[in-house]
Structure 1
């Protein structure tokens, strides 16, 4: 397979795990040293562990991912071991057990790096509001 198709497959698996709220599988898609920049957070999260702690806080408040779909995926291959994946993403979430479902319209950039074992892992994720929501 090519870098492009490998990264697309890794991104699709990540989106599928996220959309199914399969937390362990989702976080396994990130390198331990990954960084995260989210529009709903005041600053940069500097590790996967920091993001996992934040995720558990959200879950304790009733957060749950109900579905996620990727639109207009694109891969920019940098070299044999690095690539940038971008897409528009639509995520259905519940904020608390008694809250109504809401859909978030966002754009996402993920930088992938091939690990020594050959697995494509995200080393940086940047999430922003999509001004062109459907």
Structure 2
């Protein structure tokens, strides 16, 4: 049996999750940042920590606690351990999302190529974390 790739659903889930992250971070930067020389707002120093903490909590802690992020929940997907198909650990979730920058390069083209060529339909983050994405039934 051929593994399902779920490329459209995975793309939509990532779009939902990162839209939330970007919107909340933009609000935070606008609210707590300083006007810079280019006319935009920015945060520096300790004010950058809430951005990193929010990213970690939203993607890693929530994914580990509830078996999916909001985006994956909406499209009915969830990441699982590659071997056991049990919930992923916090370490696996962090490894999955550390690679998001590379996976989303060229509007997700890197992830699509890797998913299409992977036996278990894994993207780079899944390969690093030894995880895969399955349907959440």
**Which structure has the larger Rg?**
2
Give the helix-richer structure, 1 or 2.
Answer: 2
TM-score, normalised by the number of residues in structure 2: 0.29
TM-score, normalised by the number of residues in structure 1: 0.29
